[in-house]
Amino acid sequence: MDDGWSRQLFELARRDPFRRKIVLAERFQQGEQWLARAAAECGPMLGMEVETLRSAVTKLARPALATSGVRLLSNGETFWIVQRLMFLMAEEEAEPYVSRELLSRGIVHVFHEAITELRMAGIPSSELQPESFVDARKGRYVQGLLVRYEQALREGGMSDFARLLELLPELEGQGSTELYIVPSLHALTPVERRMLECVAGGSVIVLRSGEVFPATAAGIGADGLEMFRAAGKLAEAREALRRLIGAEIPLDRAEMIVPPDSGYEGAVQSLCAALGIPATYSAGRSVSHARVGRAARAYLDWVGNGYETESLLQALRHGSITFRAWSEELFSGELIRALEGSGVGWSRERYALLAEAGEASAAVEAGGQPSEPRRVLAAVFRDLFAALPDPRLESWTPLTVLRGLNAFLAACAPPTCEEDIAVLAELKQRQTSLEGMELPAVPEVQALFYVSDMVQGIRVGSSGPQSGKLHVSTLQDGGETGRPHVFVLGMSDSFWSASIRQDPVLLDAERARIGGLPLSSELAERRQRERALRFVRIEGRLTLSYCCYDHAEQKETAPAYELLQVARIWSNQPELDLAGLEGLLGQPTGYEASIPDAEAGVLSSAGQASGFSQAEPSISEDEWTIAGTPSTSKPSSLPLDASDRWLQRLSAGSGGRLRGGMTTLARSYPFASARLQAAQCISSAQLSEYEGMLSSTRFAVRYGTAAEGHLSVTQLERYADCPKKFFFSTVLKIRDKDVTVYDRARWLDAAQRGNLLHRLYQLYLVELADRAGSGPLQHDEALLSTITEEMLKEYEAFVPSPSPSILQKESEAIRRDAAVFYQCERRREGQGRPKFFELELGQDGEPLEVVLASGLTMRVKGFIDRIDELAPHRYKIYDYKTGSPRKYDENGYFANGRQLQHALYAVAVEQHLRRSGIDPEARVMESAYYFPTERGRGEEILRLQNRREELAELTGYLLSSIEGGAFPAVPADERACGWCDYRTVCGNEAELAREKRQNPENETMIRFLKEAEKYA
């Protein structure tokens, strides 16, 4: 299919070996490929160099630039000039065509493109007529923008690429001493053509082109073509690699061409990485392939998502960033846990929590407790915020974000490879260029968008072909390596047809009136012609493919016209239609390799197994070899990886259905075998160890009675509530991760609110007791109000609120709770006196040994909210509750063991007061669940302490059941499974256990539980 470019280049070199010959390519990499290929095909060439028009013009204009002191701007830099001018116009003009509110980066981008195009067409503002525009207002705006742009360049001593034309020396009719070789003049803008004349004079050779692709398919040899279609992009990429590896093609003899920004690049890249196939990428890879790119992404997400910690936590977990610049000793895991547990969660202000916690823990450290992670985190975020001014106090530009980003990367993402270094250098260079620009202030979110786009646009590791590596190019630059095996993926209509979309600023009708600007149809045609000319240069064996099904859209997709045309020409069937092409290509290839045995025929097992249904025609084994069809289009049966091998074996000889494979899996992997055994036991009628029935000889659980163990009353109640939940939380110690979750509608979570109220009530009563001495308490509403305000202030500083209105709403609710408490306490006057608050059971952190009526000794830990003295040696216990009193049934004294606290604490307090000598005659008469909040309506659920024998029996049953290893999923109320923290791991066990509970064979295992249930 070659058009003879290599021969032409070789002849030019041979004809005049000692003259400098400059090949003007669109990209350096492209020109290098032309020369390398010509040298390989025809022989060595002397005096050949590669330039782009931009580089050649810049070199020539450099002396004039130096003399005049004019600075040449990149395309990226001219964008910021246009942006500034548009903001200026929005402010200065009374009724601007583009108001400030509309000035998003997308709008600036399209106007920047329009200005660049007008400049490259050589149209100055003086020649631009507003009447040429459909909307004269737009015409005046574009003209005004162009006037200001020209002025900004002149007055600022700057030049864009188009202005270089003014600085180029005239060759005055003489030819250049160098010979300039160009592939085509077709796509040059008017300014570029004049530049070429200045650079080369008359010394320009345009390479000849012959027929274009796909007409050249007639020249493809009998074995020169393979075609296939696939049921997905990944399936297509896998099949292409299978064919490449299966045919034992050396990697550096193959090129793979994919449509850009289509998903194919990612598919090929990840497959090559997974299979260890070394490859070069003409368009490079996404910035996220570099660790620094991922770190940059995390930082921008962090700032963009209101400083939500999760973005940085993820990056720390994945190793994209590190905080080693602040501490060499601490591992990331320690810092992650500290940040998760810090209560920060989100919002810039909340990071102050770290500093406060750091200071507090520094004090603790003096007593020997390490507080390093929090102090390190406080330092990390202090430094990060120092590089990023608060947008509420200062206006932001993209430079603000970029400075913060570069400071962050310098500290948190040290480079580990060349790609990292390239990303850092690119971002540094962008910052330097922005430092010299005048930038208007924009909202924080806009500034972030600009920098996000900038980061997203960076490509890493762009490279030409290299020996020993597969070369992956794109539809925009592929086909020029001269490699003898070329795979063209993604030949579907959507990727190959030229989109004729009008420019949003310079419409076609306006272009026609202005003159010198190409219409959208001409631009599309140019792009297609350029590709068609490039593809002519593909030589050797060609494999063409397309994806015939779009999984995202769930619809079939059509092949490109060029694919159909190649099939028509190559098969000598000019009338071939789409149905005929499908017949020619056979069934679509699926994700896995086809089945190698003849029994499976040509039907890809994937097509069947994946459920992809494709209408006939199917094609028989024999038909693959008939004349005029691609004899090697049969899907490859080479297993690409372990999943291919597994799926092949599971589907071989099964008529296109996948077999289970569990038996094989169990034979190969012990974990799978154990899982199968568990499934069998769970499905049987007997409770087993897989459902929480532990063998107490193998796994002893000693909590309540053993000398080394202890239980809190809450844990014991949880066991009565659901033994499985107790097993997860107390035996296995699995708990929900302590992570602060952003809730824009809430200030304090339930625990924080509960703590605030507990402390508020305690401080108030302690103060009253101090004031009263031995006299009666005198309630003081003003005092309660003062303490409430102090507590609210303290919590406001400690837990920043998402908004002032939420803060006010929740503060008001807390004030109302305090008012309810005050009223309750007033009613209680004369019914005893608060004596102890937050009384700890036990001493020096050791649990308290509580001896029950039966003689059973139990080790208990806990705190009692409040104890009132009703009369000498007669006490009453209060347990503050901030929730609803609904679940505390007036008649349910023990609630089957779910309400033990009132009774167990009564015994414990009594023994504690007696043993400690505080009151050797102490007796707890009553216990109360007290609801001093608006929600709890100030209710009090009272329990007289007169059932000590029953308490001892019930506690005994529960402890015996725990120590007997019974932890089945039998919740007291199955509705609670709906909001249980363990429902994900527990699954539907409660449902299965419900039936097993009735099975007499299980009676012995759960007998103690059943006994406990008798205590209402």
Question: For binding to ligand SF4 (CB under 6 A), which residues are involved?
Answer: 722, 724-725, 969, 971, 976-977, 980, 982-983, 986, 989-990
Would you say 868 or 989 has its CB closer to ligand SF4?
Answer: 989
Which residues does 656 contact at the CB level (< 8 Å), separation at least 6?
Answer: 600, 603, 605, 608, 609
Q: How far is 200 from 203, CA to CA, in rounded Å? A: 5
For residue 1003, the minimal CB distance to ligand SF4 (Å) is 20
> With respect to ligand SF4, which residue has the nearer C-beta, 590 or 971?
971
Rounded to the nearest whole angstrom, what is the least distance from the CB of residue 843 to ligand SF4 in the complex? 34
CA distance 351 to 390: 13
Selection from 550, 659, 695, 535 nearest residue 612 by Cα: 550
b vs e for 733-751, b when ≥16 Cβ sit within 10 Å of the residue's Cβ?
A: eeeeeeebebeeebbbeee
In the complex, least distance from residue 639 CB atom to ligand SF4, rounded to whole angstroms: 42
- Beta carbons within 10 angstroms of residue 143's beta carbon: 19
Assigned token pair, 3: 């058009």
Half-sphere exposure of residue 647, counting CA atoms within 13 Å on the CB side?
A: 22
Helix (H, G, I), strand (E, B) or coil at 831: coil
CA atoms within 13 A on the CB side of 747: 24
Q: In this complex, which beta carbon is closest to ligand SF4, that of residue 534 or of residue 718?
A: 718
Looking at the Cβ atoms of 725 and 859, the one nearer to ligand SF4 is 725
* Cβ 990 to ligand SF4 shortest distance, Å: 4
Min dist CB 976 to ligand SF4, Å, is: 5
Q: Which of 688, 559, 790 is nearest to 996 (CA)?
A: 688
Give the nearer residue to ligand SF4 in terms of CB position, either 326 or 982: 982
Among 900, 826, 814, 896, which Cα is nearest to 858's?
900
Q: Which two tokens stand for residue 730?
A: 């107390």
Residue 733 C-beta: closest distance to ligand SF4, Å: 14
For every residue of 600-625, DSSP letters joined together read: GTT--HHHHHT----PSP---TGGGG
Amino acid at 30: Q
Question: Distance (Å, rounded) from C-alpha 706 to C-alpha 208?
Answer: 95
Q: Which residue carries 């500083």 as its tokens?
A: 797
The burial class, CB within 10 Å (0-12 / 13-18 / 19+), for 815 is middle
Question: First CA to last CA across the chain, in angstroms?
Answer: 91
What's the CA angle centered on 442, arms 439 and 447, to 5 degrees?
Answer: 90
Burial of 862 (0-12, 13-18, 19+ CB in 10 A): buried
Q: In the bound complex, what is the minimum distance in angstroms from residue 736's beta carbon to ligand SF4?
A: 12
- Structural tokens at position 439: 């930038």
Nearest CB to ligand SF4, comparing residues 940 and 989 = 989
Q: In angstroms, rounded to a whole number, what is the distance separating the alpha carbons of residues 556 and 187?
A: 35
Of 390 and 981, CB closest to ligand SF4: 981
Q: Specify the residue, 482 or 971, whose C-beta has the smaller distance to ligand SF4.
A: 971
The structure tokens 């087993």 sit at 688
Interior angle at CA 414, CA 413 and CA 416, nearest 5 = 110
User: How far is 788 from 644, CA to CA, in rounded Å?
Assistant: 67
Which ranges constitute the DSSP H helices of 457-560? Answer: 493-496, 508-514, 520-535
- Residue among 623 and 974 whose Cβ is closer to ligand SF4: 974
Nearest distance in Å: CB 1005, ligand SF4? 16
Between 144 and 723, CB nearer to ligand SF4: 723
Is the CB of 569 or the CB of 986 nearer to ligand SF4?
Answer: 986
Shortest distance in whole angstroms from residue 796 CB to ligand SF4: 36
CB of 918 to ligand SF4, least distance (A): 40
- Bond from prior residue into 214 cis (ω within 30 degrees of 0): yes
- The span from the CA of 966 to the CA of 694, in Å, is 6
* CB nearer ligand SF4, residue 427 or residue 969: 969
Query: Please, what is the minimum distance in Å from the beta carbon of residue 802 to ligand SF4?
Result: 31
Pick the closer one to ligand SF4 by CB: 932 or 971: 971
> Considering the complex, what minimum distance in angstroms separates the CB of residue 691 from ligand SF4?
10
Pick between residue 678 and residue 763 the one whose CB is nearest to ligand SF4. Answer: 678
Q: Which is nearer to ligand SF4, 578 or 985 (CB)?
A: 985
- Distance (Å, whole) CA 184 – CA 8: 14
As measured in angstroms, the least distance from the Cβ of 694 to ligand SF4 is 15
Work out the number of other CB atoms within 10 angstroms of the CB of residue 937: 12
Query: CB within 8 A of 494, min separation 6: which ones?
Result: 557
Pick between residue 915 and residue 994 the one whose CB is nearest to ligand SF4.
994
Residue 416 CB, nearest distance to ligand SF4 (Å)?
A: 44
Question: What DSSP character marks residue 417?
Answer: S
Instruction: Write down the least CB distance from residue 701 to ligand SF4, Å.
Output: 17
Nearest CA-CA partner of 604 in 618, 620, 588, 617: 588
Question: DSSP for 332-383?
Answer: HHHHHHHHHTTS--S-GGGGHHHHHHHHHHHHHHTTT---HHHHHHHHHHHH
Peptide bond into 617 cis (omega under 30): yes
Question: What three-state secondary structure class fits 933?
Answer: coil
Minimum Å gap between C-beta 881 and ligand SF4 is: 21
Residue closer to ligand SF4 (CB basis): 711 or 907: 711
**The pair of three-digit structure tokens given for residue 824, joined into one six-digit string:** 């309750």
Residues in the chain, total: 1016
591 versus 982: smaller Cβ distance to ligand SF4: 982
For the CB of residue 80, give the shortest distance to ligand SF4 in the complex, in Å: 57
Q: How far is the CB of 897 from ligand SF4 (least distance, A)?
A: 15
What is the residue whose two structure tokens read 């003899």?
253
